[in-house]
Amino acid sequence: MSSSYFSVKDYIFIALMAAVMVIIGYLTVPLVIHIPIPGIRSVISAPFMAVFLALALARVEKPGAATLLSFFIAMVYSMISIILAIMIVTGGITADIVTWLVFRDYRRPAARVLAGCVYFGSHVPVGIILGALFVGGDYSRVFIKPWPITGMSLVVAILAVLGVCAGNRLVMELRRAGKFPQPEHR
Amino acid sequence: MWIQKVNPLIKFLAAILLTCIAVLLKRPESLSSLTGFLFILGWIGGLRPSCRVLAGSAIMLSVFGLINLAFGTQPYDMIKNLLRLIAIFLIGPVLTLTVSPAELVQCLRRCRLPNGIALGLIVTFRFIPILLSEAVQIRDAARLRGLRWKPGSLRLTFRSVIMPLSFKTVSVADHVATALEVRGFSLRHSPTIMPGSGLGWKDIWFIMMAMFLPLILLLFERVLCFA
């Protein structure tokens, strides 16, 4: 038995889910990259990425899984921009803290829904605040207002919840197919 | 390329410091100097952007500039914002895109990174091209069967692309984990006796060279502000 908090299987599974999430970003973000509306990239990628976030959390079930997943994704994105990496890790840590406070772990589907909602929802305010800090000007003065941030965060969070719900259904399918461990065997 | 031989962690440190300096600089002259310096650094480092990348960046910057003007930003401030944006987005490709994933993991391991995290990073970097080709094949197969990207096709995209991709990824994860366990991989012991790359003179020269002009610009601007 390993003394490590996460097992080798957990690390591999989270790393592969991180790789798929990066790929989804690679396939979806270019569709909206020329539209400089804060949060638009999260709107298009969140519903698909949330499916894989749900799968990773359902498989590992331990607190800290979202942070680890976000760290792997952030290491890839740090090669494009340090700001993106900070935004992603902040989302992962926030999701882990909030879910740990409410549910303690990711065993229940509702915990994964909350984690997905917080993870992707937090990307928008953090991204807007970091963007405003880095770019500044009247452009940031327009967006650093409660209503655009809350509105965009809500849209992303709702789309992420849809993705996590689809992911939770996939988890059930994978359990039936014998690809995922049954809940009572863990 | 000489820039690829510099320690990846030093390049990451330089990227963070240059991003902070780009945020702190307020005058268009300083920001244009920093942007020019990054262009030169990238050019002598062997970075040659394609016409497609340049055209895409030009479109994005034009739209950003127009939105700035639409929100009532003065042209002087708009140029300043654009220059800062270019500088921030140049730092990534110039410094961190020249890092090879294997070198990065080696350096992180040298910093006593837990074996599990190092393993995870290796797997993430290694499987991105493999899973990307799988994803593209799945997407092309779905397109052949009539799938078109539009807002209403979310459910169809999920069924025809996301579901097969997730099943494939879960299957790959099982195979990789089983293969590692069968080969006796343990998180307690380091899987290699090879030492990671440490700091050398070239790294010190690089950080001094990369930070010299930006720090002078920052100092010059601060002195001008107080004068």
The predicted-structure confidence for B100-112, as pLDDT tens digits, reads as follows 777 777 777 777 7
pLDDT recorded at residue A135: 63
Neighboring chain B residues of A82 at a CB cutoff of 8 Å: 12, 15-16, 19, 91-92, 96
| pLDDT tens-digit series, residues A25-84 | 888 877 776 676 777 888 888 988 999 999 999 998 899 999 999 999 998 888 777 778
Position B184 scores a pLDDT of: 79
How many CB atoms lie under 10 A from the CB of residue A148? 16
Helices and strands, counts by H and E, chain B = 9, 0
pLDDT at B227 exceeding the cut of 60: no
Using a CB-CB cut-off of 8 Å, the residues of chain B touching A134 are 19, 22-23, 84-85, 88
| Strand, coil or helix: A112 | helix
What whole-number percentage of chain B has pLDDT above 70? 89
Q: Measuring CA to CA, which residue among A129, A149, A57, A49 is closest to residue A96?
A: A57
Radius of gyration of the CA atoms of chain A, in A: 16
- The model's confidence at residue A15, banded by pLDDT at 50, 70 and 90, is very high
- Determine the Cα–Cα distance for residues B96 and A74; give it in Å rounded to an integer: 13
Distance CA B14, CA B116 (A): 27
Q: How confident is residue A2, by pLDDT bands cut at 50, 70 and 90? A: very low
Q: Which of B21-25, B58-62, B123-127, B196-200 has the highest mean pLDDT?
A: B123-127
Are residues B78 and A68, on separate chains, in Cβ contact within 8 Å? Answer: no
Q: What's the Cα-to-Cα distance from B79 to each of A137, B55, B117, B222, rounded to whole Å?
A: 10, 19, 42, 20
Model confidence band, residue A150 (pLDDT cutoffs 50, 70, 90): confident
Residues of B numbered 22-61 whose beta carbons fall under 8 angstroms of chain A's beta carbons: which are they? 22-23, 56, 59-60
Decide if A104 contacts A96 (C-beta within 8 A). Answer: no
Of B67, B132, B166, the CB nearest to A52: B166
Question: Rounded to whole angstroms, what are the CA distances from A26 to A8, A19, A30, A142, B5?
Answer: 27, 10, 7, 29, 27
What ipTM was estimated for this complex? 0.86
List strand residue ranges (DSSP E) for chain B, in order: none
Q: Would you give the DSSP letter of residue B6?
A: S
- Would you state the structure tokens that stand for residue A181, as one six-digit string? 């461990």
Contact between B137 and B38 (Cβ < 8 Å): no
Distance from CA of B164 to the nearest CA of A (A): 11
A-chain residues within 8 Å CB-CB of B149?
A: 31
Residue B79 near chain A (CB below 8 Å): no
From residue B69, alpha-carbon distances to A132, B83, B147, B149 in Å are 16, 15, 39, 32
- Cβ B202 vs Cβ B1: under 8 Å: no
- The better pLDDT of the pair B213, A137 is held by B213
Which amino acid is located at A164 in the chain?
Answer: V
* CA–CA distance, A159 with A167 (Å, rounded to integer): 12
pLDDT tier at B161 (50, 70, 90 boundaries)? confident
pTM metric for this prediction: 0.81
Question: CA A25, A26, A32, A38 torsion: positive or negative?
Answer: positive
pLDDT at A56: 94
**CB–CB of B56 and A34 under 8 A?**
yes
Most confident option among A79-88, A126-135, B48-57, B120-129: B120-129
- Chain B residues with CB inside 8 Å of A11's CB? 116-117, 119-120, 123, 187
What's the mean pLDDT when you consider all of chain A? 85
Residues 6+ apart with CB under 8 A from A111: A57, A99, A102, A103, A105
User: Across chain A, how many H-helices and E-strands are there?
Assistant: 7, 0
Ordered DSSP codes for A15-44: HHHHHHHHHHHHHHGGGTTT---TTHHHHH
**Helix or strand (DSSP H, E) at B165:** helix B163-182
B75-91 vs A109-135: helix crossing angle, rounded to 10: 120
Q: Are A68 and A59 in contact (CB under 8 A)?
A: no
B contact test, residue of A6, A7, A8 with most B CBs within 10 A: A8
Give the distance from residue B227's alpha carbon to the nearest chain A alpha carbon, in angstroms: 24
Q: Which of A7, A10, A23, A51 to probe the B interface (max B CBs under 10 A)?
A: A23
Q: Beta-carbon neighbour count of residue A35 at 10 Å?
A: 13
Chain A interface test: which of B126, B170, B171 (most A C-beta within 10 Å): B170
What is the token pair recorded at A52? Answer: 């894989």
pLDDT value of residue A142: 62
In angstroms and rounded to an integer, the radius of gyration of the C-alpha atoms of chain B is 23
The two tokens of residue B189 are: 């012991």
Give the CA distances from residue A114 to residues A56, B57, B66, in Å, rounded to whole numbers and listed in that order. Answer: 14, 36, 38
* CB neighbour class for B155 (10 Å; exposed up to 12, middle 13-18, buried from 19): exposed
**What angle in degrees, to the nearest 10, is found between the helix axes of A109-135 and A65-77?**
40
What percent of chain B lies above the pLDDT cut of 90? 4
Cβ separation A166–B139 shorter than 8 A: no
> In the predicted model, is pLDDT for residue B217 greater than 60?
yes
pLDDT value, residue A1: 43
Q: Cβ(A10)–Cβ(B119) under 8 Å?
A: no
